Amino acid sequence: MDKKIYSVSEINAEIKNLIKNRYGDIFVQGELSNVKISSQGHCYFSLKDEKALLSGIIYKGQFQTIKFKLENGTKVVAFGKLDVYVKGGQYQLVVESIEPEGKGALQLAFEQLKAKLQKEGLFDAKYKKPIPAYPQRIGIITSPTGAALKDILNVINRRFATVYILVYPAVVQGEEAAPTIVKGIELFNTLFPVDVIIAGRGGGSIEDLWPFNEESVARAIFQSKIPVISAVGHEVDFTIADFVSDLRAPTPSAAAELVIKKKEDVINSIEEASRKIKESLRNTLNQHQMGFDYILERFRNNASGMIITRKNQLEHLLKDFKHMAFNAITAEKNRFSGILNKLNLLNPFSILSRGYSITYKLPENLIVKNTRDVEPEDRLKIKLANGEIFCRVIKEG
């Protein structure tokens, strides 16, 4: 009898065919462990129960569609095919879809993202921006054909129709929705500035509302410099956008009511403020009138005494002024006399009154200081205290 000898590759290939033919598409329940993401974007993990482990893989394309985060310890139900890696002789579960055990994937993803953003502080009240009381420009991010936009516009037109409205036509359902919502928020913060943004849509299932649970939308709302009001679904619906926005409206219509006051309410507020101002002014005037009357009465009662007191004060001040003026004039007179005496002492012509004279050589009019400065026949001018003498130099002997 001939023996069939198999190669390792043949055995592994046979096992692969047996497993694929035997099981086909299967559901496997277990707890996630050893979850790792490769550099290529594939997700590797193990499913375990109390007695055994089963390796699994989710390829990149399929992994990107999973809404919740795969974490060690999470109990799941995975759907896929058993396959054998022939080269390594290992078998694994190639997962096509995976759901958390006991709750939906979207609900778990919602809870995971909520916990993550709350830990980062994105829901903190200190970051909430105030909604302007009387916005002039309102930006709306929603479907241009949806009921939500009609409800918002109806409320605004009914309450205060003069407000300027800009609508960004966003996709609000499906895979393309989140990027368009983020784009709308960015445009209102850059190219088309408004006073407040309303972002939302009408009601629906958790799948329908899911774009407002995306992390990218939550971070765009948080980073917006313009206040954002979330208006998603019905009153019982809550999304991540509700927690991170500056104000949550239970419905799109309620968002319009929150941001726009009724014209009648505004007029009533103005009239009430005007009434309070008038009343305050009237009370202030009455208080001042009473104070003035009191002062006037005191003045009348003490007028004569006050006049006498003021007269004495003025006389005293006048006396002090005259004394100060006299002292000041005397001091200035003495100072002037001293200066004048100094000038007289320094004046060369004042010496002439004591019998001195000044001799000038003509025609140069130079002062003669030495006999060597003149020669016979030079003409001289002699200046005395009361006049001048003109003479000529003669030579003696």
Give 285 or 249, the one with higher predicted confidence. 249
Q: pLDDT exceeding 70 applies to what percent of the chain?
A: 89
The predicted model gives 148-170 an average pLDDT of 87
pLDDT digits (tens, 9 = 90+) for 96-134: 888 887 667 778 888 888 999 999 999 999 999 999 988
Taking alpha carbons only, the member of 110, 381, 159 closest to residue 265 is: 159
> Using an 8 Å Cβ cutoff, are 233 and 201 in contact?
yes
Highest mean predicted confidence (pLDDT) among 66-75, 89-98, 244-253: 244-253
pLDDT at residue number 378: 84
- Specify the pLDDT at position 195: 94
Closest CA to 352 of 313, 389, 306: 389
**Band (269; pLDDT cuts 50, 70, 90):** low
Angle between helix 263-301 and 303-346 (nearest 10)? 80
Q: Which residues contact 96 (CB under 8 A, 6 or more apart)?
A: 62, 79, 80, 81
Residue 365 or 267, more confident: 365
Tell me, what's the pLDDT at 142? 94
The pLDDT of residue 13: 78
State the pLDDT confidence band at 245, using cuts at 50, 70 and 90. Answer: very high
Query: What gap in Å lies between CA 171 and CA 68, rounded to an integer?
Result: 22
Residue 265 — very low, low, confident or very high, per pLDDT cuts 50/70/90?
low
Does residue 263 have a pLDDT over 60?
no
Instruction: State residue 188's pLDDT score.
Output: 96
% residues pLDDT > 90 (the chain) = 27
